[in-house]
Structure 1
């Protein structure tokens, strides 16, 4: 598909500019940003001294002895670029950050709103310079890739002229050094030569990444513009005409503010897990504290933590020898959701929220045990074993959760942790959904209504066709697998067990685990 008309803003040598903005390294001096001991970006004065991308640190410093070296820090570059993106968003909507130092926006909206593509480009460059004191260039073309190349020269490519503009660009413009080196060795030096190759041959020779690069060379973007959504301000603030110097008055304000914050988060489908509480006193003193929580903060939980913190500030507690009591009453209270998650992304505990609810459940279950005995409340613990019934042990609530047999529920058919014993002869996955407390007697017959028997050598007399459970009606068997034999504790006659297991599917949609032991068929479990 032909690329969407796109406008790209590019800030030259952005890592160098970001180092100046964040760390105060003057970009008017020779500066080089290094990654893995090689230059990735350098300033204009450094280029004038012969420094180039790809040079090793020692060679770059030999060419420019007064070179200032800065470590590559993508996080620093992204932080410094955020004000630039915000400035662009003040004029246009739908900004997409390509990388720190470059952002893109569909050109149609700004062109119609600001009076043309060239006028829009000039307005954006001027606004970024005034708001952020950052030099930038804008390019416009059909597609993000072509617009990015046009931005390096500050060009506006006419509609439909993108293939012709790209044809003269070197293959290094693709940003794939290995592919560019291979193309040059094959005699393909420009994007126009690369775009003229048949797409099928490019895919067969250069692979999927080469095919994507071929689409870019033809002026066709392989993905739509990823629009950046402006961040939502979730902070809530309450300004007070009269300073708050009493805990009860502050608690009243805190509860109303907590409900506002909770409602705002809920409107965006979010929940808070970390809460920042900020206060400003009448004397300009700023107080801040962060509260963390291992569950979702409800409106009541937010209000409680805010009240507790205000109580701590206003009651004049001490931390070592430094008083933390504010010098005046609080005139501004702000709640900042420092950590937010999607409302369904954090799984609550079995008893509701984690923390206090878990303790309440423990006290309630312990009281039931006190009235009815320890075995009245039990939890299941999974462990080792060959049959589903052997893998589960019911442990009284509050006792140590230790399995009856060592090993994990997967040992035997998956590699276990070091030190875990194997369980050969274990059933393959999936595990049954319901294990019967007592196996049910059953009868399995073949096509001529004869009982199916298993020999000592595990030979099946005939294919199972009918299953009868207890006194119920026979049900047709549509599929079966097995047998899986197990011969346990043969050295101890009193505890020895020898049986074979089958998995069967029935005509009514049920799936069962059957076992043959001592010539008797038993239903041990069922599958979902």
Structure 2
């Protein structure tokens, strides 16, 4: 199959720069699970490259800005490119954000040739998309992608004639299969066997490769011989569900803005309902008269209603006003004139997947109404819900989010990590927002000291917090093992029970003591 492929180099970085307003020359890196997955050209000049750990990258480029990798943002920013491709050639297949492909057969007949179709598409994209764009035509998706990587700004089109893909691929290193074959061990074995290029692999008998490496070997051999037969899946163009509201002239009245947005938001919810969909993520984009744009993605633990969407619009307007340098804020008027508000569904799901279970899947309706009413009076962050996260100190393990916002997923909370030095056994019920200073004394009112080896100078007998209390039982110390490479203070934990029957979790650096939590 002849494939016409569109490639936007450094799309991950470009999407973040456009969405968050970063300067193109700023040193920037995107990180996933502590590993750099993309970096800007200015960061590469300092030695940063994908695959480095964050600490190594920051050592090479101390002034670099580090942001989490956001595939959803890249896909959202790539949507205009997909639509621009569809303007010229229908049936676009999304490979990944920044890379899209179409079948070239129909486009070649319409525009006269493969090269003419590629050049026409490139000219159209350059006038439509503010980004570096490259185009390649070859037999198969793999060959087209590899050909696109050989292009440059001066020569942005790569064209491989029919049946030339195998010759082109033969000179590529075996590492070109790294992102196509999920078997790093197979590639290492091939290197040890002296197979350095795809041409070397293509000369091997296919049955022998298949029997030695299984399905991964068969797939690698097919790609090396240029026998790729991709199944391009043209995307179904989704219906535009954006709720857009324009203000001419602009307005600075919060309640007027929210009331004007209400009909379009109601239509959005009605459209989702008619399609049997629920929305648990929205993107609110607010434009001001001075050219500024406020973008924010809001998540919901269940799904949004029209009233909850309007609440998010109101809170984002409040945040936009709070970011202003003006101190005379009444909460009813903004310091900038708003010209348009766009509410875009960011994440939708079938309503059948959210049917209530036998015992329900969300709090009682009266609880929801009560907490939502309190949030209207106290503000977005006036009512918080909590979840347990990974960490060593207890204040690190408590995650607080505003009511109605989605809590972090288990992967983000990192609960599966070992966390040496964390509290063993059942956790305490009350965790103080800030550790409270206390005194731990002996019978003669001398302070209890813990040395670097964890030796206690004397048995603790008095706990002085709100008032002196006799200690009836105690256990410890347990060293808190964290960030030893920074050379900070070493901490130890104790558990004590006072004469009133209250159990405390104490933290000490050897001489000073704090109450970290209480067992109720």
* TM-score, with structure 1 as normaliser: 0.48
Question: Which one has a bigger Cα radius of gyration?
Answer: 1
